[in-house]
Amino acid sequence: MIVSGTSENSTEEEKIMLMMKESTEAYDPKYYVKIPQRKRKSAWSSYCKRCKQEGHCIQSCPLLHYKRKKDY
């Protein structure tokens, strides 16, 4: 990528600095777009997927320690 401001008599360091400036402009944080997060229900408003009861989530399900038929 050649910019009109460069010439053959520029030093190598100037050329490197110009190249680094041009290559990092696209990654400037001012161009970042924050992706909106989806709204989630609270875990307590839904039911446990394992025992189908309300009041706890699957990580704290009382049936968590019981073996299922698939585990045998």
pLDDT for the residue 1: 46
pLDDT for the residue 17: 93
How far is it, in rounded angstroms, from Cα 56 to Cα 46?
8
Domain tally, the chain: 1
Asked, for residue 53, whether it belongs to a domain, the answer is: yes
pLDDT for the residue 14: 93
Asked, for residue 3, whether it belongs to a domain, the answer is: no
Identify the domain containing residue 50 by its residue range.
Answer: 12-71
Asked, for residue 43, whether it belongs to a domain, the answer is: yes
Asked, for residue 25, whether it belongs to a domain, the answer is: yes
- Contact present, 50 and 61 (Cβ < 8 Å): yes
**Angle at the Cα of 53 (from 40 to 58), degrees rounded to 5?**
55
Asked, for residue 40, whether it belongs to a domain, the answer is: yes
pLDDT in tens, the chain (72 residues): 445 455 677 899 999 999 998 888 888 888 778 778 777 665 455 778 888 888 887 788 888 777 666 655
Asked, for residue 2, whether it belongs to a domain, the answer is: no
Q: What is the pTM of this model?
A: 0.31
